[in-house]
Amino acid sequence: MKTFNTAGPVRPDEHYTVPALARWDMEEIRRLIGEKRYFVLHAPRQTGKTSCLLALMAQLNTEQDYTALYVNLEPGQSARGDVREGMRTIVSGIAENARRYLGDRRLEDWTEEAFRTAGSHGALRRLLAHWSEDNDRPIVLLLDEVDSLVGDTLISLLRQIRTGYPDRPRSFPQTVLLCGVRDVRDYRIHNGDHQVITGGSAFNIKSESLRLENFGQEEVAGLYAQHTEETGQIFEAGVVDYVFEQTAGQPWLVNALGYQACFRTKANRDRAQRISLTIMADAREKLIERRDTHLDQLVDKLREPRVHRIISELLSGAIEPGAMPPSEDDQLYVRDLGLIRTRPQVEIANPIYREIIPRTLTWIAQTRIPQETAWYVGQDGRLDFSKLLDGFQQFFRENSEIWIERFDYKEAGPQLLMQAFLQRIVNSGGRIDREYGLGRRRTDLLVQWPLDEAQGFYGSVQRVVIELKLLHKSLEATIAEGLAQTADYMDRVGTEEGYLIVFDRTPEVPWEQKVLARQEQYEKHRIGVWGM
């Protein structure tokens, strides 16, 4: 039985799949190869790059105009700056794959001769030259995970390819495709002299940079339809739209949600069980809580200074006065990692990433905040938000300086601390949806709290809007603006319960002047306002 793939390249005989070669412009690929171009394919991790390269190799070899070979260079990463070990690993990998995929054992015989005559800094070029001269068809070399290499090993690889470039196709591969998470222009290589060499300068023969995009909505629908065709299990109306909206078509997320809903959840292995919106929302929550390898790798990037500069502005919703704006390279780097998208404006790449980033950044705080859900649940099962916000106000007064100082993202400290407090409360069964981004000057939170434990989200649900704003004008002007924004969000999500929280970060203003709690009427809405 086929399943959704969440690890490694897609195997069409085992996995539901979007045809790999349909995901990029094959006419453009053929043009670049025909013109003897060297080019780059880059995309975030687990978007299908390797699957596309393997499919391209198979297609070209079937057509017999070229000899195509795929090689993963990641094993060379452990050599770091040791060129001798790194090049031995890379050259051995090329020879091994030529035997495995092409049945060509000649490269294994030539390897030692290449090192003996050309040394570590020339063995790769010598091997590829020998192969090109001895082969009856032009060679297309597909190198994967190039940007996993480190230091002098990466420099040597790029420069040996650049040196052989003028001799193509008679004495060097006609086309070399470099594949990785980042574009070659963004390789930052520290050599032995502690200087930084950019990939663009070490590999200035690059002709094009192609980016593998996410699935489109039709591709998501087609992938899920394969499961229905295979098993008979039906996705209810709106489920595929929800998956696309939550993932923005990110291939790993699309597959992981399908796998969680249809295979990992025991009750849903009964193929008579229709996959509803509620089931898929539960799958999303479990995916976020479990934080599988794909999500963990992304979260790990949040510690990098280049990533911090971009994400901190999105979390806080504003550019700090006097702060240097991020560089274009930094923004493109974070986009290439898959954390953000830049069109139509800069924002977190999809709602699932938007949810997991603040949860991860505040996880330690969540585990240590001494608050219990039971303190804020009334006899009717509803969360008492006035009581909850009073509790947070006191907690913020006593602990905010300590906790915000601990956060890596201090710029968004108040918003993160509020979210940590809320997450601690709702972890026993509720959910928080978040909207934030550059230029918003606010964070929108939608808390959903099931009122019937047995029915969960299938039954009645308390829905509460909480708007978080930093004071950036006068208090009254900030509240007036915040009330309009809160009311608008309440209308959009269809709830009558809303609260506005205003954080005053002015150091010289005493707490007594910051604190407030009152009710305001804005058009048809009664909105609670808390200041701190």
The answer to whether residues 91 and 126 touch, using CB atoms and an 8 Å cutoff, is no
Q: Answer whether residue 162 shows pLDDT above 60.
A: yes
Q: Rounded to whole angstroms, what are the CA distances from 522 to 528, 529, 532?
A: 10, 11, 21
How much is the average pLDDT of 458-463? Answer: 92
The answer to whether residues 304 and 330 touch, using CB atoms and an 8 Å cutoff, is no
**103: Cα separation from own chain's centroid:** 37
Q: Answer whether residue 197 shows pLDDT above 70.
A: no
**263: Cα separation from own chain's centroid:** 23
Give the model's pLDDT for residue 335.
Answer: 92
Q: How are the residues of the chain apportioned to helix, strand and coil, as percentages rounded to the nearest 5?
A: 55, 15, 30
Q: Answer whether residue 454 shows pLDDT above 90.
A: no
**Residues near 445 by beta carbon (within 8 Å), at least 6 away in sequence:** 419, 422, 432, 433, 434, 465, 466, 467, 468
What is the pLDDT of the chain when averaged over all its residues? 92
Dihedrals phi, psi of 90, to nearest 5 degrees: -70, -50
Rounded CA-CA distance 328/185 in Å is 12
Q: What digits encode the pLDDT tens for the residues 200-230?
A: 455 677 778 899 999 999 999 999 999 999 9
Q: Answer whether residue 188 shows pLDDT above 60.
A: no
Place of tokens 């023969």: 205
Give the model's pLDDT for residue 133.
Answer: 98
Q: What digits encode the pLDDT tens for the residues 98-113?
A: 999 999 999 999 999 9
Q: What digits encode the pLDDT tens for the residues 345-364?
A: 899 999 999 999 999 899 88
The answer to whether residues 466 and 291 touch, using CB atoms and an 8 Å cutoff, is no
Mark residue 232 as left, alpha or beta (left: phi above 0; alpha: psi -120 to 50; beta: remaining).
Answer: left
Q: Answer whether residue 475 shows pLDDT above 90.
A: yes
**Residues near 12 by beta carbon (within 8 Å), at least 6 away in sequence:** none
Place of tokens 């009427």: 521
Q: Answer whether residue 157 shows pLDDT above 90.
A: yes
Place of tokens 């195997």: 11
Verdict on whether the full-model pTM lies above 0.85: yes
Alpha helices (H) along 6-140:
26-34, 49-63, 83-102, 106-118, 123-134
Q: What digits encode the pLDDT tens for the residues 386-422?
A: 999 999 999 999 999 889 888 889 889 999 999 999 9
Give the model's pLDDT for residue 194.
Answer: 45
Q: Rounded to whole angstroms, what are the CA distances from 346 to 118, 313, 315?
A: 48, 10, 12
- Top pLDDT among 195 and 337 is at 337
Q: Enumerate the domain spans of the chain.
A: 20-211, 217-290, 296-531
CATH fold, domain 20-211, is Rossmann fold (3.40.50)
Exposure on the CB side of residue 455, measured as CA atoms within 13 A: 9
- Annotate 208-240 with DSSP letters as a single string: EEEEPPPPPHHHHHHHHHHHHHHH-PPBPTTHH
Length of the chain: 532
Q: Is 521 helix (H, G, I), strand (E, B) or coil?
A: strand
The answer to whether residues 451 and 485 touch, using CB atoms and an 8 Å cutoff, is no
Give the model's pLDDT for residue 253.
Answer: 97
Give the model's pLDDT for residue 193.
Answer: 47
Work out the number of other CB atoms within 10 angstroms of the CB of residue 274: 12
Q: What digits encode the pLDDT tens for the residues 234-260?
A: 999 999 999 999 999 999 999 999 999
